Amino acid sequence: MILLRVSLLAMALDQVSKYLVVHYCRINESVMVLKDFLYLTYIQNPGAAFGFMANTQAIFRIPFFIAITLGAGLIVYAYQRFIPPEKKWTRFALGLIWGGAMGNFIDRVFYRKVVDFIDARYHQHQWYVFNVADSCITVGLVILFLGYWLEKPEPAKEGQ
């Protein structure tokens, strides 16, 4: 249930934030939130992270992303079935990842592009513009990584 609730919440936050940006901002408009650090810049990204496949024709790009998302969904579903109930952080992380993936998937299906708007900068150095879904995926992956990295190995049983 954790995975389902977290993924639905992540997807909803992503879609609501994108709705607000699309309806209240102009494309390529940039609004300063924190000077030299954070801006809201509305762009539409036809590709994936870092513009991957952005210049590929939609007839190839859209089916590719649909297949990748469905494949990732199957992997998350299969993987979560083997996670012990006490590993709540792992389920939480998978929920973030799946919710983020579904948020971007909805954009690709309905708009053929992903709405990005979080523009992090440090003075003249600018990062790629991203969205809530991308943030959920990244945070989920960090939680998974830290969980496995910090996990204490179980002591060996006698006779092994």
Active site residues: 116, 134
Tokens of 40: 């809201």
C-alpha distance from residue 116 to each of 19, 30, 43, 130 (Å): 11, 12, 5, 5
Cα 87 to chain centroid, rounded: 21
Closest CA to 102 of 90, 117, 114: 114
Supply the DSSP symbol for 28: T
Would you tell me how many other CB atoms lie within 10 Å of the CB of residue 38?
13
